[in-house]
Chains A and B, each alone.
Chain A
Amino acid sequence: SQQGEEDPQALSIQEGENATMNCSYKTSINNLQWYRQNSGRGLVHLILIRSNEREKHSGRLRVTLDTSKKSSSLLITASRAADTASYFCATDNTDKLIFGTGTRLQVFP
């Protein structure tokens, strides 16, 4: 069964707006990763946040982690049409990752 559940399932915004996606998980983790998937392509790693970190930045991406609530959020600032994709959180379980259900983001120009 999938450990991560993402919210919302789908999100539509205008270029320039910020997009926030949330991920909830069930068990304790060592780290949480976010991946992006363009239509018809494989997943691409975006960012990893460790369980002892609360916030991490990478370019226009900001990830937060609240281990007490077992949740994480991904914020994309100043979105672009090219950000249109599905975004997945993934939590570690020994050597493997458990992926969430994903959020489909549509950014309109």
Chain B
Amino acid sequence: DAGVIQSPRHEVTEMGQEVTLRCKPISGHDYLFWYRQTMMRGLELLIYFNNNVPIDDSGMPEDRFSAKMPNASFSTLKIQPSEPRDSAVYFCASSLPSGSHNEQFFGPGTRLTVL
């Protein structure tokens, strides 16, 4: 398996633009997690899905952030409109059933810069 795939790897955009980050989890994993990492706040869980259903989105910072998982092999995280403070590295991770009792496999991340 290729592991968790994220695209794009780097994204530079201007304030106010819409940004869409994409993730393909490892086949057979039914948990999918979106994280944001910054120097100031460290690694934050934004939202996670189980069997394509959002379970906990309490980490989503604002209504400008939304995430979807239309099927077991694809998820998106959208920011609209983007702001400079959204600049961060966004990671997607997936895991097997039993959630955190199993290791999470992380993608390479998307480095987002909002100018």
* B26 at the A interface (CB under 8 A): no
B99 at the A interface (CB under 8 A): yes
Q: Quick one: which of A45, A92, A96, A99 contacts B42, CB cutoff 8 A?
A: A99
Is B109 in contact with chain A by the CB < 8 A criterion?
yes
- Size of the A side of the interface (Cβ < 8 Å), in residues, is 24
Asked whether A97 lies within 8 Å of B91 as measured between CB atoms, the reply is no
Residues 45-79 (chain B) with a chain A CB within 8 angstroms: 45, 48, 50, 55-56
Contact of B99 among A43, A45, A48, A96 (CB under 8 A): A96
Which residues from chain B contact A100 at a C-beta distance below 8 Å? 42
On whether the beta carbons of A31 and B106 are closer than 8 Å, the reply is: no
Kindly state the separation between the CA atoms of A101 and B99 in the bound complex, as whole angstroms: 21
B108 pairs with A41, CB closer than 8 A: yes
| Most interface-central of B42, B93, B100 (chain A CB within 10 A) | B100
Set of chain A residues within 8 Å of B93, measured between Cβ atoms: 42-43
State the majority secondary structure of interface residues on B: strand
Secondary structure call for the A interface? strand
B18 touches A (CB below 8 Å): no
Contact with A along B82-115 (1 / 0, CB 8 A): 0000000001010000011101111111000000
Please tell me if the beta carbons of B107 and A42 are within 8 angstroms of each other in the complex.
yes
CB <8 Å contact, A42 and B56: no
Q: What is the minimal beta-carbon distance from B29 to any residue of chain A, in angstroms?
A: 13
| Complex-state Cα separation, A102 to B37, whole angstroms | 12
| Cα distance A45–B108 in the bound complex, in angstroms | 14
A42 to B107, CA, bound (A): 6
Q: Which A58-104 residues have a C-beta within 8 angstroms of B?
A: 88, 90, 92-102
Q: Enumerate the 9 nearest inter-chain pairs by beta-carbon distance, A residue then B residue, closest first.
A: A95-B99, A42-B106, A45-B103, A92-B100, A99-B43, A43-B106, A97-B100, A101-B42, A42-B108
Give residues in A with beta carbon < 8 Å to B.
2, 30-31, 33, 40-45, 48, 88, 90, 92-102
